[in-house]
């Protein structure tokens, strides 16, 4: 069992979108449970729209006891993905305490870079009791050939957290596919969104396999 949390205290950075897409990609390699830890229950709403057969289970667990609950709940799964809430620090701490990898989505804007400090500080605090936890920034909604696109990698390098080589671009397919409880991997399997999510899943798999080898 590998546990991955998508966290950022800032709202609207892509935690839910990326959780659902990563869950769909990883479900092709093993059994996946998506834990919706957000009281807004967006991942559960997404799942309720779905008419197609589900490729992974989704449960709501917006409680700061996640780290204890996952130990029993998670046993039958290869991958657990936690879609974190914005703002709630207690839930973020509990998710980190359960995680092998924390993914911090950030958009290429100065506001996102400044706000990233909050979650980085929480990760640092939690590392004291969970030193093995890995963390990575994931640039989301990049619009190529803009000044902001060029600046984001430099700006993030100020933090002591690495970034994924995979960068997720701003693509309408991410939002469009969600209307029917689907993902871009299913609506446009040979599209560019699908390709970047598969690249992300590959990076995540090799990162966790290498660490736990
Ligand atoms: N790569 C992308 N391309 C285009 N739209 C995107 C992308 N990522 C996210 N979005 C859109 O941005 C909005 C916010 O995304 P999402 O709900 O996933 O963020 P969140 O971090 O989970 O928000 P919250 O903090 O409220 O839980 C949504 O409308 C989503 O469709
Ligand atoms: Mg969300």
Q: Whose CA is nearest to atom 25 of ligand 1?
A: 11
Ligand 1 site, residue 112, Cβ cutoff 6 A: no
Q: Please count the structural domains in the chain.
A: 1
What is the model's pLDDT at position 211? 66
What is the model's pLDDT at position 148? 82
Which residues have CB atoms below 5 A from the ion given as ligand 2? 15-16, 42
Over residues 73-91, the pLDDT tens digits come to 999 999 999 999 999 999 9
Ligand 1 site, residue 9, Cβ cutoff 6 A: no
Ligand 1 site, residue 174, Cβ cutoff 6 A: yes
DSSP per residue, 45-68:
HHHHH--SPPSSEEEE--STTHHH
Ligand 1 site, residue 110, Cβ cutoff 6 A: no
> Residue 138, Cβ neighbours under 10 Å: how many?
23
Please check the confidence at residue 136 and state whether its pLDDT lies above 90.
yes
Ligand 1 site, residue 171, Cβ cutoff 6 A: yes
Distance 128 CA to ligand 1 centre (A): 31
Q: What is the mean pLDDT of the chain?
A: 95
**Higher-confidence residue: 167 or 146?**
167
Query: Mean pLDDT across the stretch 119-132?
Result: 96
pLDDT above 70 coverage of the chain, percent: 98
Over residues 19-62, the pLDDT tens digits come to 999 999 999 999 999 999 999 999 999 999 999 999 999 999 99
Please check the confidence at residue 64 and state whether its pLDDT lies above 60.
yes
Ligand 1 site, residue 175, Cβ cutoff 6 A: yes
Q: Which of 152, 104, 154 is nearest to 124 (CA)?
A: 104
Ligand 1 site, residue 77, Cβ cutoff 6 A: no
What is the model's pLDDT at position 12? 97
Domain ranges, residue 32:
2-212
Query: Mean pLDDT across the stretch 92-111?
Result: 96
What is the model's pLDDT at position 208? 96
Residue 212: pLDDT band (50, 70, 90) is low
What is the model's pLDDT at position 213? 44
Q: Which of 6, 55, 68, 47 is nearest to 28 (CA)?
A: 55
Over residues 147-199, the pLDDT tens digits come to 888 889 889 999 999 999 999 999 999 999 999 999 999 999 999 999 999 99
Please check the confidence at residue 116 and state whether its pLDDT lies above 60.
yes
Please check the confidence at residue 139 and state whether its pLDDT lies above 50.
yes
82 phi and psi angles, rounded to 5 deg? -105, 120
Q: Whose CA is nearest to atom 30 of ligand 1?
A: 175
What is the model's pLDDT at position 149? 80
Q: Could you tell me the CATH number of the domain that includes residue 9?
A: 3.40.50.300
Distance 45 CA to ligand 2 centre (A): 11
Distance 48 CA to ligand 1 centre (A): 18
> Residue 179, Cβ neighbours under 10 Å: how many?
10
């Amino acid at each position: 069992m590998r546990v991955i949390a998508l966290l950022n205290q800032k709202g609207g950075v892509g935690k839910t979108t990326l959780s659902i897409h990563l869950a769909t990609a990883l479900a092709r390699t093993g059994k996946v449970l998506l834990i919706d830890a957000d009281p807004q229950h967006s991942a559960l709403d997404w799942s309720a729209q779905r008419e197609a057969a589900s490729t992974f289970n989704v449960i709501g667990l917006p409680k700061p006891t996640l780290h204890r609950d996952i130990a029993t709940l998670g046993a039958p799964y290869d991958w657990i993905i936690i879609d974190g809430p914005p703002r709630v620090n207690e839930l973020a701490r509990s998710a980190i305490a359960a995680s092998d990898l924390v993914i911090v989505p950030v958009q290429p804007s100065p506001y996102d870079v400044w706000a990233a400090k909050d979650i980085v500080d929480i990760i640092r605090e939690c590392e004291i009791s969970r030193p093995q936890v890995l963390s990575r920034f994931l640039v989301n909604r990049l619009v190529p050939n803009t000044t902001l696109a060029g600046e984001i990698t430099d700006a993030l390098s100020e933090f002591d957290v690495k970034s994924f080589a995979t960068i997720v671009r701003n693509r309408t397919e991410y939002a469009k596919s969600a209307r029917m409880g689907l993902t871009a991997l299913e609506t446009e399997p040979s599209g560019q969104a699908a390709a970047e999510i598969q690249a992300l899943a590959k990076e995540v798999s090799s990162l966790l396999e290498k660490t736990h080898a």
